[in-house]
Structure 1
Amino acid sequence: MGDKETCAKRIKEALQLRDMTQADLCRTTGIPKSAMSQYCNGGLVPRQDRTYLIATALNVSEAWLMGYNVSMERETAPASLEEDGRVGEFVGLFGQLTAEQQALIIAQIKGILSAQ
């Protein structure tokens, strides 16, 4: 395996560091329990979109999560947006919508911002 850790091992390590369970991670990301179990057991490696969701929820870098020998620390948006998990929750929920529903949400956000 060389210098690279497995994604499964990194997910487990981050869960322990963040004092979270797989169920907590599923709730935060919107990823089904069956898929998360496969990721944690090494049966599957998450796709890029799900890697992002998991890394965001665990507050770790995607590259670290994928097993690369890089810093675990995540370069993020301003802390106030991520402190309570709203960004991760939003991304998880947004990812579950259809393309049409996503377009509607984006239009709503733009409308709210333009009214300010």
Structure 2
Amino acid sequence: MDKVDIKERIKQGLEIREITQTQLAARANIDKGQLSSYISGKYKPRQNNIDAIASALNVSEAWLMGFDVPMERVPNKTESVQSSSVSTQCKEIIEVCNQLSPHNQRKVLAYSKNLLSTQQMEDALLPNAAHEMNPTEEQKKHADDVMKDDKEWL
């Protein structure tokens, strides 16, 4: 079986994910010099760094090593969200967040907490603001539907 060299796959991964070598090194938690030596072909990465680079690029280890397999990463149990109660959007957020640098992950967390706090304040005010005039149950439901429909607020 013919294999593509790992240095070529790393370059392809950088291009596909539209990230720099510096960003990849940070995400994979490896030294920039090490990564550069892998990309130049001077050295081949050890398995732990192959795993880290594949995870940071969100590609399968086998694809990164040059095998003729699908590029898509099949997450292992520690990487994937197994709970069926987690929405598709939340799973997508987690996948994106896992690709961010630690600094940007902290930004996402701070923004998310701020957004949750705002939502909680809005939820506390919603019943009073929408239902002050003794509306019928149907009017209450309609007001709630409008307030909770994101399309109404774009």
Q: TM-score, normalised by structure 1?
A: 0.69
Q: Are 1:39 and 1:45, in contact at CA under 8 Å, matched by a contact in 2?
A: yes
Q: Encode CA deviations 1:32-56: one digit per residue, 9 max, x unaligned.
A: 0110001111111111111111000
Look at both structures and tell me which one has the larger radius of gyration over its CA atoms: 2
Distance 2:35 2:48 in 1: 13
Change (3 A) 1:69 1:7: same
Q: Are 2:23 and 2:101, in contact at CA under 8 Å, matched by a contact in 1?
A: no
C-alpha RMSD over aligned residues: 2.0
**Displacement after TM superposition at 1:83 (Å):** 2.2
Distance 2:39 2:23 in 1: 13
Aligned twin of 1:7: 6
**Displacement after TM superposition at 1:88 (Å):** 8.4
Distance 2:31 2:58 in 1: 19
- Between the two proteins, the alignment pairs up a number of residues equal to 88
Gaps of 5+ in 2: 82-90, 103-154
Gaps of 5+ in 1: 90-116
Amino acid at match of 2:56: A
**Displacement after TM superposition at 1:22 (Å):** 0.4
Task: Give the 3-state SS of the residue equivalent to 2:49 in structure 1.
Answer: helix
Q: Are 1:61 and 1:74, in contact at CA under 8 Å, matched by a contact in 2?
A: yes
Distance 2:99 2:15 in 1: 21
Q: TM-score, normalised by structure 2?
A: 0.53
